[in-house]
């Protein structure tokens, strides 16, 4: 039987998760302990769902209904675009990206540095273009100086979903196929994901 080969076509864009993984102040860092280490190895882990590469649902900021179990999976599987901002501005506006390249409903921002984020106006404009999922290589869609989370509020209030803390260091701008489905967690506002792109 001949199977379609994905060798050399899959690009892992997820961060490693370990006890060394940084988390937002106040969140539970990744913890692991062994329940058994005899013939059978069984571990127990504890962590915030926002550790590493993860999806924020609207309920993260109180919008919509709670629960990752009801998230449409097709939102996180399909064509996407990776875009690097044109400038080093900490808070990105519409003018900081090439507006001509927005051609999919999933946009992943390869930020120039950690802490670079989107303005609420840019998020609003992306939504008007039909974008449903915004991803970022920063640990937050909001710039580090925006402590009131305007981009989060705008995106999640509009029913958009966020994929934060992506590893896009080895990815060039362009179109790909995204796979980044959340876990089927009941009553939880976010979920870690193993995100990857297919060339």
- DSSP H or E stretch at residue 157: helix 150-157
Return d(Cα 38, Cα 44) in angstroms, integer.
15
Judging by DSSP bridges, how do beta strands 161-164 and 54-56 pair with one another? Answer: antiparallel
Return d(Cα 112, Cα 110) in angstroms, integer.
7
Question: What count of other Cβ atoms lies within 10 Å of the Cβ of residue 184?
Answer: 13
Which three-class secondary structure string do you get for 34-98? EEEECCCEEEEEECCCCCCCEEECHHHHCCCCCCHHHCCHHHHEEEEEEECCCCCCCEECHHHCC
Please indicate whether residue 50 is annotated as part of the active site.
no
Q: Given the residues 50, 54, 60, 152, select the one marked as catalytic.
A: 60
Closest CA to 161 of 88, 70, 89: 70
Residues with catalytic annotation?
60
């Amino acid at each position: 039987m001949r199977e379609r080969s994905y060798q050399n076509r899959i690009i892992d864009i997820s961060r490693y998760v370990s006890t060394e993984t940084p988390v937002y102040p106040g969140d539970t860092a990744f913890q692991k302990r062994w329940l058994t280490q005899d013939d059978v190895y069984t571990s127990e882990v504890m962590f915030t769902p926002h550790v590493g590469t993860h999806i924020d649902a609207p309920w993260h900021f109180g919008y919509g209904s709670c629960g990752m179990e009801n998230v449409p999976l097709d939102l996180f599987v399909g064509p996407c675009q990776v875009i690097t901002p044109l400038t080093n501005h900490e808070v990105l506006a519409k003018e900081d990206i090439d507006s001509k390249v927005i051609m999919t409903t999933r946009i992943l921002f390869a930020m120039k540095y950690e802490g670079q984020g989107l303005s609420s106006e840019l998020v609003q404009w992306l939504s008007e273009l039909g974008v449903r999922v915004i991803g970022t290589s920063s640990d937050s869609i909001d710039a580090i100086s925006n402590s009131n989370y305007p981009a989060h509020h705008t995106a999640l209030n509009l029913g958009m979903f966020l994929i934060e803390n992506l590893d896009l260091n080895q990815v060039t701008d362009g179109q790909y196929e995204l796979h980044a489905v959340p876990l089927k967690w009941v009553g939880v506002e976010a979920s870690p994901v193993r995100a990857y792109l297919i060339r």
